[in-house]
Every structure is written in structure tokens, then in C-alpha cells.
Structure 1
Amino acid sequence: MSKEHWDNSFSDKDYVYGEEPNEFIKEMSTRISEHTKVACFAEGEGRNAIYIAKQGHDVTAFDQSIVGLNKTKALAEKNGVFVETVERDLTKDKVIKEQFDAAILVFGHVPKQDQEFFIKNVMESVKPGGLVMFEVYSEAQIDYNTGGPGVMDRLYNPQDILRWISDYKCLHFYYGEAERHEGKRHSGKCHVVQVVVEIEDIPGN
């Protein structure tokens, strides 16, 4: 979806996905080594970035929506933390390789044709030995009507994801139902793909 779509989506006064972190990230972020550099990709209004920053990490939030990033800054100030923000279309612009110790991604839904580039962009941003964790809606979410883009083209196939992460050490992979209550956009039982991988080495290096 376009930058303009997300600017409009985040223009509500309230936080459309809430101010609390995604439950999967909340659970898995304990795996991240203390006081490290963490990237939050397709971060929207900043709820996960602020949570990670409150754990003592040095956090950079990436999103293509300047409206979302401005709300991230406001939420960070409200919570007494600092989050660096970067406006970036991650389906087109490569992130500098191996600059972060960990990366997270929550519900970053992009067109099928861009998904592999997008996910690999996230993976390659992390140094060897670091972690990448993400939760996205699977294609099965189309039947749940509890959140997400509502079109098959922007949902994820678990077999695609397994192929994209095959060069890395998989620590956690889950494909199935979850309960999510996040603001007014995610409400109830849904169908997700969850991943945690360790970056042993960047393919091609």
C-alpha cells in the first residue's frame, strides 16, 4: 500500500493499533541481548519500538509514513525514551547491511512481488549472531476478518517464508491461530506466521 494510504491511515488522533506492543514481540524480545542496537521495520506508530526502547535498547524505527513516524516520536516522548526514526520504503530502498544487533517486524504487509526483497532487506540489516523476529498475517487470515489488509496479494505464504529464511538458523517458526487485540484494527482470533532466526552469516558474503 502507498505512502499516502498509510499517512491517511495513521492520521487519526488516537493510535489505530494501540500503544501496547505486539504480544509475540513482547514474549520473544527477551531473547535480544541487553543494550543493543535494534531496528523496528514497518513500525507504523511506534508501539513496538517504544517497548523495545524501554527495555534499554538503542532503537531505530523505519516506516514509509511520516505521519506514523511523527506519532512514534510523540509516543516515545510520552514514555520517556528516544527512538530514532527513518522514512524509508523498504520494498525499494536497501538498508545498510549488518548495522543492527537485532530486528523486529510486525504485520508489514506488502505486495507479493515485493515480499522477498522486503524480508531479505530486514534480514540483511542484522549482524551475524544477531536475531530477527517477526509476525505477519498468513494467507489464511483472509477468512478471519479480524485485521490485516483484506487482500490475498498482501498476505504471506508460510512456504515462501521458510524458503526466504533457509540460509539462517531458525529458532522459532509457527503457522497457525493467535489471539490479537491491538487498537481498533486488530481484534480477535487471527491466523499468523511467526519467525525468530539467528543470522549466522549473510548469504553472498
Structure 2
Amino acid sequence: MNPWNERFGLDEYAYGELPNVFIEEQAHRLKGERIVAFAEGEGRNAVFLARQGYRVTAWDYAENGLKKTEKLAKRFQVQVETELKDLLHDSVPSEAYDGAFMVFGHFPKADQKIVFDKLLAVVKPGGIIMLEVYSEDQIRYQTGGPKSVDMLYNPADVLAWTSGHEVLHFFYGEQRREEGRLHTGVGHVIQVVLAKKQRF
């Protein structure tokens, strides 16, 4: 049973219909036109970027999330391409996008770098990657996210993964998130915006 498919099977949007604040604030850094959203859930960020004129693809492994992405895109009269994808086990196209992002993609520690490396792999050299995830400190806040430290992120790990690339923004600390009924109040996050290393 896929718990996310169940969660996204309800009529309401679990995390609301508005974009994540970090994506809204950092979207100006995106270049090019093709953007891919990792673990995009019900599509709020993908639809927001499509409304800014980007060609957006949304990946998730919960079919109900993708259906709601399509529904939200239709309501805003934009196009978002959706694809059912298990980010741990499915391959991703190499250097096919100008940008990639992931907001609150929850994966076990042993698998987190696999997903981050795929974020890097899908973008062209010079392309932009944006990430906002809950830090291990989020356990103390109880305002959303996984209840296990193994599913949360360590800032030193995340910084290490960015090595060799141009870090445009890095943040580790408290942020308020009011996103549907599941992210409510002050939480503890890690944010990264980087430009993928150019080939010379």
C-alpha cells in the first residue's frame, strides 16, 4: 500500500494549493524553460512555475498526486506534464532540464544522496537546482514532516553533496510554513540553491 497515494486520494489538497514560499522566493534564479519537479505530490509548485511560463514536468510515485496536479493545472489553465516515477529505483534522463527542484521529499538517510545525485544528473551544466527539506531538528517542532530522524536531513550531509558546484543560497534554521493542514507553524528546514558545475 502506498500511503502517499492514500493521502492524496482525498478531495482537499494536503499541503494546500499555493506554492512553497521558498520556491516562490527563489524562482527568479531559474534559467531556460524546462523544469522538473521531484516528489511533487499534488502539484502546487509545478503549477506555480507553469504559470510563470516554464515548461514543467512533475514526478511522483503516487498516482493520486499526479491526478491532482493535472486538475490544479487545468484550473489555472496551464500545462504540466506528469509522470509516475519512483525516484529511488527509476532512471532519470541525463541533462534534459534547465532546472530541477524538490520540496519536502522524504527519503531514508541511506537513499537521500541517491535522490540528490539524480537532481544533479537531470539538469544541464549551469542549470539550477533548488531544494527545501526538513532538518533533523524538525523532530522537536511537530509542525509537519516525518516522525523519524532517519527520514530527515543533516545540513553537513547536504553541504557535502553540493561540493564542486556553485552554491547560490544555503539556509539552515527556522521558517514558518502554512501549507494545508499538514505543515502548520514554525519548522526547521535546510534550503539549497545551486548552479551545476559547467564543463570546460
Tell me the residue number matched to 1:50: 47
Report the Cα distance in structure 2 between the residues aligned to 1:128 and 1:81, rounded to whole angstroms.
28
Matches within 5 A, 1:102-181: 102-181=99-178
Report the Cα distance in structure 2 between the residues aligned to 1:78 and 1:184, rounded to whole angstroms.
21
Aligned length: 200
Matches within 5 A, 1:27-42: 27-33=25-31, 36-42=33-39
Tell me the residue number matched to 2:66: 69
Letter in 1 for 2:7: S
Letter in 2 for 1:118: V
Report the Cα distance in structure 1 between the residues aligned to 2:3 and 2:108, rounded to whole angstroms.
14
Q: Could you list the runs of 5+ residues in structure 1 that have no partner in the other structure?
A: none
Determine which of 18, 21, 27 is the counterpart of 1:20: 18
Report how far residue 161 of structure 1 moved.
0.5
Report how far residue 201 of structure 1 moved.
3.6
Q: Could you list the runs of 5+ residues in structure 2 that have no partner in the other structure?
A: none
Report the RMSD for the aligned CA atoms in angstroms. 1.3
Tell me the residue number matched to 1:5: 3
Provide, for residues 119-156 of structure 1, a one-character-per-residue CA deviation record: whole Å limited to 9, x for no partner.
11111110011100010000000000000011111000
Provide, for residues 66-108 of structure 1, a one-character-per-residue CA deviation record: whole Å limited to 9, x for no partner.
1100000000000000000011110112211100000111000
Report the Cα distance in structure 2 between the residues aligned to 1:177 and 1:42, rounded to whole angstroms.
22
If the length of structure 2 is used for normalisation, what is the TM-score? 0.97
Contact 2:120 2:196 in 1 (8 A): yes
Report the Cα distance in structure 2 between the residues aligned to 1:114 and 1:77, rounded to whole angstroms.
34
Could you list the runs of 4 or more consecutive aligned residues of structure 1 that deviate by over 6 angstroms after TM superposition?
A: none
Report the Cα distance in structure 2 between the residues aligned to 1:163 and 1:186, rounded to whole angstroms.
27
Letter in 2 for 1:16: A
Query: Identity of aligned pairs, percent?
Result: 48
If the length of structure 1 is used for normalisation, what is the TM-score? 0.95
Tell me the residue number matched to 2:93: 96
Report the Cα distance in structure 2 between the residues aligned to 1:81 and 1:120, rounded to whole angstroms.
29
